[in-house]
């Protein structure tokens, strides 16, 4: 059965026909062309599909598209501030060499947007726990934590939805 959902994706109103059994990850990738949303495990364990729904990081592979009706969704594509500039969170990942193969990176960046948006400061151990739902097969965790520490503890102004 097909239903039409209305939502805001990366600041743009969308009206999207979806199968009632369709995951938000499938809708974002296949219907809207947002390929930063990766499909890894498809059971909510790897974090590659993480997006923000109304400011909260969720695993979009286990979140039905129907549940997004009337909500605001943010993906990595929505972070771009100007034509060629990376968002400060993305830049921190580049600067700290926290990007290896890149498969886990979009999900980690979206979790970082939520973490920075909280306005709290976190220790390295707390950050490690906060990203424990993300799987990096390249074992880049030290550099990822370096990037997370840098962006969380240096500034709190990079919320993503301004």
pLDDT tens digits for range 17-61: 999 999 999 999 999 999 999 999 999 999 999 999 999 999 999
What are the pLDDT digits (tens) for 118-143?
A: 989 899 999 999 999 999 988 778 99
User: Which option is the CATH number for 79-154: 1.10.760.10, 1.20.1070.10, 3.40.50.1370, 1.10.150.120?
Assistant: 1.10.150.120
Structure tokens at 86: 């990376």
Q: Which residues make beta-bridge pairs with 51?
A: 58
Rounded Cα gap, residues 99 and 121, in angstroms: 23
Let me know the angle formed at the C-alpha of 161 by 159 and 162, rounded to the nearest 5 degrees.
90
Rounded Cα gap, residues 149 and 160, in angstroms: 17
């Amino acid at each position: 059965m097909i239903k039409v959902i209305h939502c805001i994706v990366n600041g743009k109103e969308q009206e999207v026909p979806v199968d009632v059994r369709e995951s938000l990850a499938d809708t974002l990738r296949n219907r809207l062309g947002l390929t930063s949303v990766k499909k890894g495990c498809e059971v909510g364990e790897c974090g590659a599909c993480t997006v923000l729904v109304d400011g909260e990081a969720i695993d979009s592979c286990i979140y039905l598209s129907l549940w997004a009706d009337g909500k605001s969704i943010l993906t990595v594509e929505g972070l771009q501030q100007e034509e060629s500039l990376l968002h400060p969170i993305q830049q921190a990942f580049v600067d700290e060499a926290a990007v290896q193969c890149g498969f886990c990176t979009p999900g980690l960046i979206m979790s970082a947007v939520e973490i920075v948006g909280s306005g709290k400061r976190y220790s390295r151990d707390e950050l490690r726990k906060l990203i424990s739902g993300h799987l990096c097969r390249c074992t880049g965790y030290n550099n990822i934590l370096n990037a997370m520490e840098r962006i969380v503890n240096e500034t709190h102004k990079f919320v993503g939805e301004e």
